[in-house]
A and B are shown apart, each in its own frame.
Chain A
Amino acid sequence: MASVLTSVDDPVMEVQDLVTHYGAVQILRGVNMTVSPGEIMAIMGRSGSGKSTLLSYLLGLHRPTSGCVRLLGLDIARASAAELHELRKNIGVAFQGGAMFSSMTVGENIRLPLREHTKLDEKTMQIMTRMKLELVNLGGFEHLMPSQLSGGMLKRAALARAIIMDPKLLFFDEPSAGLDPVVAAELDELILRLRDALQMTIVVVTHELSSACKIADRIMILEKGCVLMTGTVDEVRNSENERIQAMLHRRPGTKEIDPDDYLQRLTRD
């Protein structure tokens, strides 16, 4: 992969004017962002702000209407199948609900990328699997089925699977959603350790402000498919933007009402 990344300072991820549609509805309206090596970037926004959509496009799961996404220097919309395949080995993704394969044990789940992409010895794979499980505090849970794990455990198991190949770039969707505060704090801690020990670049999608402030170097705030602001934690905290302040202080957004339009919506047949 070193061949693709030409210099250490090149951004690990670069998004330019990303525009996407769902059917005829425009979801993302020109998103720009860059993430540098070793940086932890938090993508924040309320539900419906387009952050899950953005993530699916960052992962190359759909084709954007226009704009481009570069991961590790590779434009994923124009890359060949072989290039994309190589790229994917250097990217880890932990999905919100875990997305563990229900027909395999936790251990088999975590080992799957190794089994598919490497020719490592069985014993090496086993040790690696257990090392990652220990790392996420799930030592000894190797032989359980995903259905036997709780939500928080699934999330950690998914993280173990995402980092089994020691990726350069890690995506983490909602690490702390639905977890009790202690486990959430542990996960935040782990994310920081991963970055420090492995120089991983990490993109976290979250709606938890406290978690984002704790781990992120920079925060990008998304609203209605547009970037409201991108900046360091302090810059976001000190922002005078009303909508950002509303979000910081968990004030419900005040909807502006256009009386004519509202009446129209209620009475139209």
Chain B
Amino acid sequence: MASPELKHPLLSVQQLGRTAVQAVEECGYVAALLVESLYWVVFGSVRHQPVRLPSIFSQMMTIGIGAIPIVFVLSFAVGVMLAIQGIHTLRIFGAESQVVIGIALSVTREFGPLITGVLIAGRSGSALAAQIGTMQVSQEIDALRVMGINPVRYLVSPALLAMLIMVPTLTFFSDLAALFGGAVYSTVELGLGVEAYLQQTLDVLAADDIMQGLIKSVVFAGIIALVGVSNGFSVTGGAEGVGRATTRAVVLSISYIVLADMVFTYFLNR
């Protein structure tokens, strides 16, 4: 629009450049948000502007406790699915009983954190973006600022902390639910005793496997919170803008989660 005489090839190069600059800008913004919200967590009380415990707890309730049923159902289903696929595949080699190892490792190292991350991104990342976006549009963020209440301390720090605590907790819960799902299907299908299944699972699992999943889930938690919040803050243009930001927050955080998962899995297994 600014330079209408510019025709196709140049135009797309210009567009590419703009997008790249925007992306770099956004990365910097997210990093600054992370640093600032951690700053308030650590130094807030020294500056008499503490991050309040009640707001952390209320965020933990909505992010964590509210998600327990859906996390359980989906994780259980994934556990069953893994058992079905595992038994089907291993039957080719006549090694059905090895399915226990497969389920135990893939659940704790991969599926637990991933399912939980994607779920919380869709459920709470979007809610964060919508909440902050709505506040931005209705001047509530401005109101906080002119009252001398830093929006990052008041809104972002509690959400980030709650995320960092609840996503790993939910991931551990999701591990258990998925293992349970796998156990239910395998014991029925293979005629294995539940006790034997449990014993085998415990034999296979090392603390390291569970830790690997939990470390990843901490990273996912950070991604969900920061992507949600930064999209919320950047809302312009009324209700429609809030909708756009919400969708964008979900798509971006799920993409980042999957990419981060790949990178972390690579490095954690070297």
Contact = CB atoms under 8 A, between A and B. Distances in A.
A117 interface: yes
Contacts of B149: 112-113, 116
B143 interface: yes
Nearest to A103: B131
A87 B146 CA distance: 10
Contact of B148 (A85, A95, A100): A85
Interface string B119-140: 0000000000000001100111
Nearest to A173: B139
A99 B142 contact: yes
A1 to B, nearest CB: 13
Contacts of B142: 56, 59, 61, 95, 99
Contacts of A82: 47
Contacts of A88: 146-148
Contact of B139 (A89, A96, A269): A96
Chain A: number of interface residues, binned into ranges: 20 to 34
B145 interface: yes
A225 to B, nearest CB: 21
Contacts of A59: 142, 145-146
Contacts of A100: 140
A263 B175 CA distance: 69
Interface residues of B, number: 15
Contact of B140 (A61, A84, A101, A117): A101
B148 A97 contact: no
Residue in A60, A84, A85 whose Cβ sees the most chain B Cβ within 10 Å: A85
B145 A117 contact: no
B134 A91 contact: no
Contacts of B135: 101
Nearest to B4: A269
B78 to A, nearest CB: 34
B265 interface: no
Nearest to B131: A103
Nearest to B145: A61
B140 A99 contact: yes
A93 interface: yes
Contacts of B234: none
B143 A117 contact: no
A102 interface: yes
Interface in A107-128: 112-113, 116-117
B134 A95 contact: no
B146 A116 contact: no
A95 B139 contact: yes
B6 to A, nearest CB: 13
Contacts of B145: 59, 61
A91 B149 CA distance: 13
B147 A116 contact: yes
Contacts of A116: 49, 147-149
Contacts of A96: 139
A168 to B, nearest CB: 14
B55 to A, nearest CB: 10
Interface of B: 4, 47, 49, 134-135, 138-140, 142-143, 145-149
16 contacts: A60-B146, A61-B145, A85-B148, A88-B146, A88-B147, A88-B148, A95-B139, A99-B138, A99-B142, A101-B140, A101-B143, A112-B149, A113-B147, A113-B149, A116-B147, A269-B4
